[in-house]
Amino acid sequence: MGVVKMLTIKNLKPYRVTCDHEYFYVTLAYRYFDVLINDEIYQFIPIEAKIVQFDRHTRQIVNTNARFAFQKENKIIYVQMIDLMALPQFIQRLNQMIDTFMGKKLVKEQTSEHEDIELLIATLEQENIKRLIDRALDEKDEQSFIKLVKRLNDQQIND
């Protein structure tokens, strides 16, 4: 294990980002996280810590005692989370990952909500047409009845 004099993030991509009610979890994997240590590139290896855990409300890193391993050939260097947290690009990149994750999650939720609203509207339109058909039958309005039945059938075929 060598002494780390200079540490720079070379590459940092999430393997996976997940969350629960309290935390975000950024899982790191081999080939997705490289650092420059003393002017040499080291690749992350998941032999110790592999997850960065954030508090959802404060966006602060929770697992500050985590220790990450980086390898170059046969040489392994361990870097503490606290040392990585001192690098602005590390924090910025992690925040971008979470923002991207939240953006995708929000779009998915909005799309789902939009689909639910469209389904509700289609259902209400069909119910309204059925009531109009009943009224046309009560009033013995054959033209309206035929037109409304055709409209209801067309609507059901398109759904």
For the chain, give every domain's residue range.
7-86, 110-158
Residue range 79-121, pLDDT digits in tens = 999 999 999 888 888 888 888 877 665 555 555 666 667 767 7
Residue 158 has pLDDT above 70, yes or no: no
Compute CA distances 88 → 70, 125, 139, whole Å.
19, 54, 75
DSSP state of 30: T
CB proximity list for 24: less than 8 A, separation 6 or greater: 17, 18, 53, 54, 56, 98, 101
Q: Does residue 34 contact residue 43 with C-beta atoms inside 8 Å?
A: yes
